[in-house]
Amino acid sequence: MRLLLLASLAGIAAIAAPDIARGGDSFYLKDGDRVVFYGDSITDQLLYTTYTETFVVTRFPHLNLTFTHSGWGGDKVGGGEGGSIDRRLARDVIAYRPTVVTIMLGMNDASYRPFQQDIFDRYASGYRHIVDELKSDLPGVRLTLIRPSPYDDVTREPKFEGGYNAVLLRYADFVEELARERHCAVADLNGPLVVATKKAFEVDKEKAADFNPDRVHPSPAGQLIMAQSLLKAWGAPSLVSAVSLDANGPRIISADGAEVTELARSGDALTWTQLDKALPFPIRHRSFVENLDFKDPTVALAVKTSDFFSSLDRQPLKVDGLAAADYTLSIDGALVGTFSTYDLGSGVNLAELETPMTKQALAVHHKTIDHTQMHKYRWRDIQMRFPNAPAEYVGSAVEGLDGLERTIVAEQHALAQPKPHKFELKPKAK
């Protein structure tokens, strides 16, 4: 149920996004924030939302944050199978007293047909109602309105002149205008994915189609790009850590977002202990849910046709003054890779490698999945399924499951705390 994470164009955003290591005052989310992701089935896929949560928890391990995933398949601005919009907002958003709410609606509202003014007017009126209701019932809430994700008219022929995504873009322009009008943030989850899909289509037509297999619901590869767009709109930092060493001496040239100790040289080998202040996003690993893995061909293509690593996942290690031609890098005794002196002098991005840090971040993501699964079970299978059961029994079950979810979230945050690691760089054996 809880599934595991643009192109060079930046997502449209109402927030500045300076490139700093751990955000502080410039990152959109603040200590103590309670975030609710609200939307239709694309949010209910629990892909871009869980990727975003894991990124934030691992990049800002010192922040006390909570995330609730409240997407429901088929929803429109008036609600859907989960109830009317006022019922949905009261039960699935306002009840959690969020300080931050993201809203992505429009795919179903535009009705999969050419633009029709009366349909659009209902959308505009309904969307304004959502914004006004949230601002009224949640004083001080910060809203991020999302330009709806694309219908794929790139890898397959449009079903009518101009295509359905062109209709969605008219709806998206309204969302952006409303965000300016009501002083909300805005994130573009449409444009960057379209650009990446076009670039991918030039490389591999079949795999590009897998970015959005049914044209409506992006795959993990497509949703990775969507998560990137939301994070960039929030001003997410690109840097995990950056360490630069000089083997001659040896000495530490710089350590940004990391503490380096016990640096020593023995012959042509270097050893040191490194404690980063954050973890990389674990894109390199295969997850047990879906295949969010750089080695998966479709995800690899998404990464290739976007700027994910350079914009959100930089963890460079740079070492000058090395004498041998090639070196092996081990962390905590496990081989990470073999690199030329040139590569090490230019900088190796550890976030792209399988390291103890990415393994730790993957464990954090599994906890993200666990707690979102627990919440969905509590919400859909208990709270919603037994509306006529004795209130004290349903309430007791909900309370117990909420307690279990809080326990999982506490484990998630504990796992996100960085640990010191022993690095060894030595000449490759001939």
**Among 137, 36, 64, which Cα is nearest to 379's?**
36
Instruction: Determine the Cα–Cα distance for residues 406 and 252; give it in Å rounded to an integer.
Output: 41
What rounded mean pLDDT belongs to the chain?
Answer: 92
Instruction: Give me the mean pLDDT over the 262-277 stretch.
Output: 97
**What superfamily would CATH give domain 24-233?**
SGNH hydrolase (3.40.50.1110)
pLDDT in tens, 158-207: 999 999 999 999 999 999 999 999 999 999 999 999 999 999 999 999 99
Establish how many alpha carbons lie within 13 A of residue 262's alpha carbon, considering only the half-sphere containing its beta carbon: 10
Model pTM score: 0.91
CB 350 within 8 A of CB 280: yes
Residue 271's pLDDT is what? 98
Cα–Cα nearest to 304, from 207, 162, 400: 207
CB 186 within 8 A of CB 28: no
Q: Is a pLDDT exceeding 80 seen at residue 346?
A: yes
Band (pLDDT 50/70/90 cuts) for residue 8 is very low
At 268, the pLDDT band (50, 70, 90 cuts) reads very high
Confidence of residue 300 (pLDDT cuts 50, 70, 90): confident
Question: What DSSP state is assigned to residue 314?
Answer: B
Q: Tell me what pLDDT residue 76 has.
A: 98
The phi-psi region of residue 79 (left if phi > 0; otherwise alpha if psi is between -120 and 50; otherwise beta) is left
Query: With contact defined as beta carbons under 8 Å apart, do 243 and 260 qualify?
Result: yes
User: How far apart, in whole angstroms, are the C-alpha atoms of residue 118 and residue 108?
Assistant: 15
Share of the chain above pLDDT 70, in %: 91
Which has the higher per-residue pLDDT, 258 or 282? 258
CA–CA separation, 366 and 428 (whole Å) = 35
Distances (CA, A) of 255 to 260, 315, 317: 7, 11, 10
Task: Convert the pLDDT of each residue in 16-42 to its tens digit.
Answer: 333 333 345 699 999 999 999 999 999
pLDDT score of 414: 98
Separation CA 109–CA 16 (nearest Å): 30
Per-residue confidence (pLDDT) for residue 17, from 0 to 100 = 33
Q: What is the pLDDT averaged over residues 42-67?
A: 97
**pLDDT recorded at residue 13:** 35
Every domain of the chain and the residues it spans: 24-233, 242-276+315-430
Question: Strand pairing partners for 328?
Answer: 338, 426
pLDDT value for 286: 46
Reported as a pLDDT band with limits 50, 70 and 90, residue 304 is confident
pLDDT at 292 (0 to 100): 57
Confidence at residue 293, expressed as pLDDT on a 0 to 100 scale: 57
Bridge partners, 265 (sequence order): 270
- Give 1's pLDDT tier (boundaries 50, 70, 90): very low
